[in-house]
Amino acid sequence: ATRWLEHYREFWDARLDALEALLVGTRGRQP
């Protein structure tokens, strides 16, 4: 279960990073 949870978190971390980058890019805002 622990390995699955780690993989799940890594997967969503990447998804959220991509989503955040997309939203930031759409707004034209830079970090």
pLDDT tens figures, 5-30: 999 999 999 999 999 999 888 776 55
For the entire predicted model, the pTM comes to: 0.51
Total domains, the chain: 1
Residue 30: per-residue pLDDT: 56
List the domain range (segments joined by +) for residue 26.
1-31
Residue 1: per-residue pLDDT: 73
Residue 10: per-residue pLDDT: 96
Residue 29: per-residue pLDDT: 58
Helix, strand or coil for residue 10? helix
CB contact burial 13-22 (16+ within 10 A = b; e otherwise): eeeeeeeeee
